[in-house]
């Protein structure tokens, strides 16, 4: 049986977009589920868009994501070089082979001529190259090349008939050959175009499954005609639908949409990001949503790929990230969360272990930790109306009375821990004959200054300590007393 070989072939033109990473993940999973081989290839034919350090981003992302490749620029292999700019001689040789066989031709049209032809065309919006050099005499073409005239090599497309190809997601697709332009294969600087280089490389590297976005569906017939011209076997095509940031709008690095690196830096766990991305266009056919990479390597299938675009839902990613966070050990949570804890608690007397215990069941993304706990170090300014709670029909006079009772009860404590704080305040609630919220809501607001906190009033009081808790509670009493005058 033929060994399944797949390749991820990014361009070093910027950061690793979520769509790029999904392509890498699916390509990797196709290889692994078939016990095949996964290759990393750098497609840098567009030198004008090359971005410094983009290769570092690609290598680092692949490593962080756990997408280990069997062959690539930095690991070697029998089919290299794995960087297209280092394969120019290979492309030149194959382009000449197509010219010799009559499937391609040299084109000497200048940019000025092409622009003029485009502007003079009555269908300028859908203008295709007018094949001006297509029937040029080979002897004349050779003379002009020998004279040093600049030229490109174009693919000679059939002018009639149709080209049919089969895609693993979309099935059989047929395109009239009359719609196909005589595309450039080799540019004037002798660098190949993407459309040519990837066909040559995919064949020479033994790629069996080609995974890419649906934006390349219309180019598939061109690729097939190249394969046919060389007498090569056509690989399995797998075209992926786009990822949308909202219906009708694709995720795009040009529009500033987040990259894998952005989410990682914001405190999302790599495992959660990979899990979520795997489900953006693929379904296991069950209700299972949480997958480790090892599980994906066992269960991924081409039949689960969707024909409909996926919408990137940050809320769903946050939820999934929280699931992974809750599965961490306390030690792991502390390791991930420490940099964020240090932003607020470093140098304070707050008990870190207690904070961690309260946070793990509530944090969705690690980067939200500082905002969640900064009140422990510095009481934020809050509106006095926050002391009132609609559910307990608590107005400011009632809140003021409740806080005074709480202050008296807490002041009497000789030992300060959750158990004693809880029992003391419950006794206060019972003696007053009121709902628990009537006492705890204004108390928690007074000591935290915010409506949402990690942990309830008892936990916060213990963390702050008796002196700081009573100090803040007194400030709340004074604030409420001033307001009710």
For 237, the enclosing helix (H) or strand (E) is strand 236-240
Separation CA 152–CA 190 (nearest Å): 8
For 423, the enclosing helix (H) or strand (E) is helix 418-432
Q: How many CA atoms lie within 13 A of 190 on its CB side?
A: 11
Residue 100: burial class (beta carbons within 10 Å; 0-12, 13-18, 19+): exposed
Active site residue 253: yes
Phi first, then psi: give them for residue 36, nearest 5 degrees.
Answer: -100, -155
Q: What is the pLDDT of residue 378?
A: 95
Q: CA of 70: how far to CAs of 41, 74, 87, 297, 480, in Å?
A: 11, 10, 20, 15, 67
Q: What is the pLDDT of residue 393?
A: 66
Separation CA 176–CA 46 (nearest Å): 29
Separation CA 237–CA 305 (nearest Å): 13
Separation CA 145–CA 291 (nearest Å): 57
Count the neighbouring beta carbons within 10 Å of the beta carbon of residue 147: 7
Q: Are 36 and 3 in contact (CB under 8 A)?
A: yes
Would you give per-residue pLDDT tens digits along the chain (485 residues)? Answer: 689 999 999 988 777 889 999 999 999 999 999 999 999 999 988 766 767 788 888 999 999 999 999 999 999 889 999 999 999 999 999 999 999 999 999 999 999 999 888 887 765 566 789 999 999 999 999 999 999 999 999 999 999 999 999 999 999 999 999 889 999 999 999 999 989 999 999 999 999 999 999 999 988 999 999 999 999 999 999 999 999 987 767 766 655 557 888 899 999 999 999 999 999 999 999 999 999 999 999 999 999 999 999 999 999 999 999 999 999 999 999 999 999 999 999 988 899 999 999 999 999 999 999 999 999 999 999 999 999 987 766 789 999 999 999 999 999 999 999 999 999 999 999 999 999 999 999 999 999 999 999 999 999 999 999 999 999 999 999 999 999 87
Catalytic residue among 88, 187, 250, 253: 253
Q: Are 211 and 189 in contact (CB under 8 A)?
A: no
Q: Are 21 and 10 in contact (CB under 8 A)?
A: no
């Amino acid at each position: 049986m033929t060994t399944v070989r797949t390749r991820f072939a990014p361009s070093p033109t910027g950061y690793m977009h979520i769509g790029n990473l999904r392509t890498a993940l699916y390509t990797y999973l196709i290889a692994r589920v078939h016990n095949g081989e996964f290759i990393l290839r750098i497609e840098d034919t567009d030198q004008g868009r090359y971005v410094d350090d983009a290769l570092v981003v690609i290598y680092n992302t692949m490593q962080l994501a756990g997408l280990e490749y069997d062959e690539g620029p930095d690991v070697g292999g029998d089919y290299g070089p794995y960087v297209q700019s280092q394969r120019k001689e290979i492309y030149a040789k194959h382009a000449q082979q197509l010219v010799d066989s009559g499937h391609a031709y040299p084109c000497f049209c200048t940019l000025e001529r092409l622009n003029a032809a485009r502007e003079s065309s009555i269908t300028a919006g859908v203008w295709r190259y007018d094949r001006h050099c297509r029937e040029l005499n080979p002897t004349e073409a050779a003379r002009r090349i020998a004279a040093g005239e600049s030229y490109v090599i174009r693919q000679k497309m059939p002018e009639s008939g149709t080209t049919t190809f089969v895609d693993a997601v979309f099935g059989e697709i047929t395109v009239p050959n009359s719609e196909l332009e005589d595309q450039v294969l080799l540019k004037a600087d002798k660098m190949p175009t993407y459309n040519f280089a990837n066909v040559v490389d995919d064949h020479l590297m033994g790629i069996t499954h080609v995974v890419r976005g649906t934006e390349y569906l219309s180019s598939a017939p061109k690729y097939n005609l190249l394969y046919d011209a060389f007498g090569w076997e056509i690989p399995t095509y797998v075209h992926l639908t786009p990822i949308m940031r909202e219906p009708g709008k694709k995720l795009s690095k040009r529009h500033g949409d987040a990259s894998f690196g952005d989410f990682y830096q914001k405190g999302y766990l790599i495992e959660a990001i990979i899990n979520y991305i795997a489900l953006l266009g693929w379904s296991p056919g069950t209700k299972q949503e949480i997958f480790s990479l090892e599980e994906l390597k066992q269960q991924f299938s081409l039949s689960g790929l969707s024909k409909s675009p996926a919408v990137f839902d940050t809320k769903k990613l946050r939820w999934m990230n929280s699931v992974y966070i809750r599965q961490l050990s306390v030690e792991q949570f502390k390791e991930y969360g420490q940099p964020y804890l240090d932003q607020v608690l470093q140098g304070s007397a707050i008990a870190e272990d207690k904070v961690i215990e309260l946070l793990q069941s509530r944090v969705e993304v690690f980067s939200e930790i500082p905002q969640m706990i900064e009140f422990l170090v510095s009481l934020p300014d809050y509106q006095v109306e926050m002391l009132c709670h609609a559910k307990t029909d608590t107005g400011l006079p009632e809140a003021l009375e409740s806080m005074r009772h709480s202050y008296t009860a807490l002041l009497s404590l000789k030992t300060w821990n959750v158990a004693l704080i809880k029992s003391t305040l419950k006794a206060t609630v019972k003696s007053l004959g009121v709902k628990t919220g009537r006492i705890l809501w204004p108390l928690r607001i007074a000591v935290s200054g915010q409506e949402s906190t990690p942990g309830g009033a008892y936990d916060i009081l213990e963390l702050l300590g008796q002196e700081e808790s009573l100090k803040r509670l007194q400030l709340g009493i004074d604030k409420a007393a001033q307001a009710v005058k």
